[in-house]
Chain A
C-alpha cells in the first residue's frame, strides 16, 4: 500500500498568515491526490483534486501543487473559518490511503 506522510502534524498560525502543508507519497502517484478539510464533529469536505484543481465553491485562497511524490496545500491568507484538520488522499490505486492529518490551530 502507498504510504502518505503529511507534515507538520499540527501548526499554530494567525489570521492572515500564509500556511503550507505537505504530503509525500511512498511512490510516485502522478497527480492523483486530493486535499480535504475537516472541522470538529463534521464530515470532511473536498478542497482540491487532481493535485491542483480547486473544487467548485472553495475559496481561491486555497491552492494545491505538486506531482509525482511531493505535494503541497497552501492557504494564502488564513481566515478564522480555516482552523480545522486537513488530510491528503491518494487516489492513484487501491487501497486508498490518507495522510495522518494536519491540525491548524489559532496562535
Chain B
C-alpha cells in the first residue's frame, strides 16, 4: 500500500525558513518522480515543485523559484522541501505527491494527507 507521510509544518515568521519532509513507503521510491502541491486556506490547488526519480531534474513554480529547494534521499525514502524567505502568501497545506512515472512527465497519482505551514508574525 502506497503511503506518503508529511511532517515539518508549523508556524514561522515572515522571512523565516522551514523544511518539510515526506516519508514514502509501499513503492520503489527511486522509480517515481515526486512533487509538492500546496493549497492556501479556502483556495484551489497550486503545483509547487517536481523532482525526477533519479533526482537529476527539478522544476519550480515561479512563485517559489529561488526560495524553495526540492530534494530526495533514496536511502531514507524521503522527499524534502526546503523553504527559505517565507512570505505570508506561502501559508498553505503542503501536499507531498507521487507521479505515475520516474521521469518528470506524467500525472500525479497519489497524495499524502498534507502538512500545514503558517507564515505569520
Give me the interface of A with B, judged by CB distance under 8 Å.
1, 32, 34, 36, 38, 42-46, 49-50, 55, 87, 89, 91, 94-101
Chain B 14-35 per-residue mask, 1 if CB under 8 angstroms from chain A, else 0: 0000000000000000000001
Interfacial residues, chain B to chain A (CB-CB below 8 A): 35, 44-47, 50, 59-62, 95, 100, 104-114
Asked if A98 and B111 make an inter-chain contact with CB atoms under 8 angstroms apart, the answer reads no
Please report whether the interface of chain A is mostly helix, strand, loop or mixed according to DSSP.
loop
- The interface residues of chain B lying within 8 Å CB-to-CB of A46 are 107-110
Residues of A near B47 (CB, < 8 A) are 89, 95-98
Residues of chain B with a CB closer than 8 A to A44's CB: 45, 95, 111
Checking B44, B59, B106, B108 against A100 with a beta-carbon cut-off of 8 angstroms, the contacting residue is: B44
User: Could you tell me if B59 and A95 are in contact, using CB atoms closer than 8 angstroms?
Assistant: yes
Asked if B44 and A49 make an inter-chain contact with CB atoms under 8 angstroms apart, the answer reads no
